Chain A
């Protein structure tokens, strides 16, 4: 016996909390990857990240309504189409925002905070005008709503597994784009030394625009995925933004690997603590630990080695 539990129950707890932690980890990575690209690679603090996610969620909502009204036979697979559309919508809006606003602010990174915060308010109001103030319900295909029973007690939700698979796919894709492609090389060159990159013939403007668009597009996919587990309303994006920044800053802003490591640390810590104490207390302790670690290691878990 351990505490109130028998050994078999205790190991079930560990297994279940491990899965819960992995799902939370995937959610964190999905939320934070887009932000880490924009913040880490470009130095732009994008406070409207949550609203880009919600755009993806609304696209999924529209897609689900459209498919169930006009092509109900395709309903079981509409979600994949919805994710592609969500990416495209957020990507396009990202390009537009970069062109209209962000590109004028590259030399004033703190101003991007204010400008994108304003943008987030504008987008929220826009969603409210178009979709109404109430939350909308996104209907999911049945196969996404079940769970897989491993033992009597341990059941793994399929949508959790789906989010995990999606996160893996996107992470691998981002890795290839950023570290194995010519375009990624250009992005990293621009990030390290904008003037020099321009001097060797890289179109820095284009690189910036595409990077911002990519970050926003990933947010859109995350938003589509979150319709499975969270709410879709004009202000729902705000729920995610604090956690997202927490993950990115804790990981070390410029490092994508750091983002993943930090998402893993925070999610496992929180999930373990949540089991042994109440949810609010676990959250407080997580935040407290992050603050203490950041005091000891202000640059975050991982940093790129660059010449100071």
Chain B
């Protein structure tokens, strides 16, 4: 399958073929008998589209913000991707080639993300890109990946309503994260009324829309819904409203630094989450955010994610200890960090199944790829390029870790375009 926009780029294609020709000639000159002497496939066979693949190496891109406001969040993703690449290299690489990476800084600025994505695809000809965090940055790079036919592994849980042949979504889409959590509080905690609260941009608003639809479908009630600008630090008014409306559940999707203000003020206002009256359920606070909030301020809250650092399985124990060994003992690992770690492994599996680095072949091979070694347990790529995965509910402890109190029995099917939720 050739991507339609790619097929149209006649000049570029012919230039690529020319470059490929030059590349193979130079390999011939350098090694005499190319690749045949080794027990790995010849470069000319596994790379017909002139990607940055040599006999010994394959180059990929890492595209995250390491400066600007998103650096706080995306640093963990970069660390996880580098760890995965190191481990894959230690196992002998991909199709006998060591992975090298080119890291670019999106600088928390969406046009910069697009520019750097184009640089990675056109100039560096990387075989895959691991990157982005915010939906805004993903939307900015999407046309670039479609035009130049690249492959992006995107790690963040997000609002859904998107599916691209050029993206593998390794985090959860909204329904996977939200619906299981609401079902759980309704069933296990007998919750009847909900107060929805979030930061004011697309992800919290879409997530709350899905949450509201689902709450109403269950015959339960939303008693309040409210949004505050990003970076807002004064939540006294909404806390007063929550106190008056006495909801069973505060459903909070506040992001970033606002979280610190929100949870500190909630505690100071005398709302004790350990008493679960009201109970607080969030989808936006990972172990990373708790470091800023302080474990004692969020103790007793519940979070719906697919991964928590405290997950008790062999894969995760290995992952956590390897991560700490490489990046330091005081590291905490959140949901997105784990999802970022899956990227290089899923790509490796797809490349090996396809027997080729070519983007089109990797894309074709991707659905059905499974990973038994994922720290979250087991994942599989769906036809729609999202992952089948479990959803879990964690209970925040004062030491900053979540204790898993529930997980879905089966893998949840990803459904980026849920019916009736748009």
Residues of A whose CB lies within 8 Å of any CB of B are 5, 9, 12-13, 16-17, 19-20, 23-24, 27, 128, 133-139, 145-147, 149, 153, 155, 157-160, 226, 228-233, 235-236, 238-240, 271, 274-275, 278-280, 282-283
Contact assessment for B241 and A275 in the assembled complex, using a CB-CB cutoff below 8 Å: yes
Q: How many A-B residue pairs have CB under 8 A?
A: 131
Contact indicator A271/B244 (Cβ below 8 Å)? no
**Structural contact, B237 and A17, CB atoms closer than 8 A:** yes
Q: Which residues of B contact A5 (CB under 8 A)?
A: 244
Q: Could you give 13 example pairs across A and B, Cβ below 8 Å?
A: A24-B236, A134-B292, A137-B292, A138-B294, A146-B268, A153-B243, A160-B268, A226-B233, A228-B268, A229-B264, A239-B233, A279-B227, A283-B229
A residues near B229, Cβ cutoff 8 Å: 279-280, 283
Q: Is the CB of B237 within 8 A of A135?
A: no
Contacts of B144 in A (CB 8 A): none
Which residues of chain A have C-beta atoms less than 8 A from B257's C-beta? 135, 230-231, 233, 236, 239
> Is the beta-carbon distance between A134 and B291 smaller than 8 angstroms?
yes
- Known interface pairs A134-B292, A157-B269, A274-B237; 7 further A-B residue pairs with C-beta atoms within 8 A, sorted by A's residue number: A136-B292, A138-B294, A155-B270, A231-B259, A239-B257, A279-B228, A280-B200
Of chain A, the residue at the smallest CB distance from B330 is A132
Which of A5, A19, A133, A232: most chain B CB closer than 10 A? A133
CB–CB A153/B233 < 8 A: no
A24–B234 CB distance below 8 A: yes
The size class of the interface chain B forms with chain A is: 35 or more
Q: Is the CB of B244 within 8 A of A233?
A: no
Q: Are A135 and B292 in contact (CB under 8 A)?
A: yes
Q: Which of B68-76, B95-103, B405-413 contacts A (4 or more CB under 8 A)?
A: B68-76
Q: Report yes or no: A233 in contact with B228, Cβ–Cβ below 8 A.
A: no
B268 touches A157 (CB 8 A): yes
B26 within 8 A of A: no
Q: Determine the residue in chain A with the shortest Cβ distance to B197.
A: A279
Tell me if B268 and A158 are in contact (CB < 8 A). yes
Residue in chain B with minimal CB distance to A239: B231
Question: A155 with B269: in contact, given A134-B291, A230-B257, A280-B200 (CB under 8 Å)?
Answer: yes
Which residues of chain B have C-beta atoms less than 8 A from A232's C-beta? 260, 292
Give bound CA distance, A148 to B228, whole Å: 26
Q: How far is the CA of A238 from the CA of B257 in the complex (A)?
A: 11
Q: Are A231 and B268 in contact (CB under 8 A)?
A: no
Nearest-Cβ distance from residue B247 to partner chain A, whole angstroms: 14
Contacts of B226 in A (CB 8 A): 278-279
Which A residue sits closest to B237, measured CB to CB? A274
**What is the CA–CA distance of A133 and B77 in the complex, to the nearest angstrom?**
13
Residues of chain B lying within 8 A (CB to CB) of residue A147: 268-270
For A22, give the chain B residue with the smallest CB separation.
B236
- What is the minimal beta-carbon distance from B103 to any residue of chain A, in angstroms? 15
B404 within 8 A of A: no
Known: A12-B244, A133-B71. A230 touches B233 (CB 8 A): yes
Expressed in whole angstroms, the Cα–Cα distance for A17 and B291 within the complex equals 30
Indicate if the CB atoms of A13 and B69 lie closer than 8 Å.
no
By a CB distance below 8 angstroms, the chain B residues around A137 are: 260, 291-295
Whole-angstrom CA separation of A275 from B297 in the bound complex: 25
Question: Residues of A contacting B88 with CB < 8 Å?
Answer: none
State whether the Cβ of B192 lies closer than 8 Å to any Cβ in chain A: no
Q: Does B232 contact A (CB under 8 A)?
A: yes
B261 in contact (CB, < 8 A):
yes
- A149's contact among B200, B259, B267, B270, by CB below 8 Å, is which? B270
**Chain B residues with Cβ under 8 A from A19's Cβ?**
236
How many whole Å from B310's CB to the nearest CB in chain A?
A: 19
Partner of B291 from A9, A16, A136, A282 at Cβ < 8 Å: A136
List of B residues within 8 angstroms of A238 by Cβ? 231
B35 in contact (CB, < 8 A) = no
B200 in contact with A134 (CB, 8 Å): no
Q: Is there an interface contact between B241 and A271, defined as CB atoms closer than 8 Å?
A: no
Give the shortest distance, in Å, between A186 (CB) and chain B (any CB). Answer: 36
With contacts A13-B244, A137-B292, A279-B229 taken as known, whether A159 is within 8 angstroms of B268 at the C-beta atoms is yes
How far is the CB of A103 from the nearest CB of chain B, in Å?
31
Mark contacts of B40-68 with chain A using CB atoms, 8 A cut-off: 1 yes-contact digit, 0 otherwise: 00000000000000000000000000001
Q: What are the 9 A-B residue pairs with the smallest beta carbon separation, nearest first?
A: A135-B292, A231-B260, A20-B236, A231-B257, A157-B268, A274-B237, A279-B228, A137-B294, A147-B270
| Cβ of A124 to closest chain B Cβ, rounded Å | 10
Question: Which residues in B have their C-beta under 8 angstroms from that of A12?
Answer: 244
Which residues on the B side are within 8 Å of A17 (C-beta)?
Answer: 237, 240
Q: Is B147 an interface residue (CB 8 A)?
A: no
Closest A residue by C-beta to B236: A20
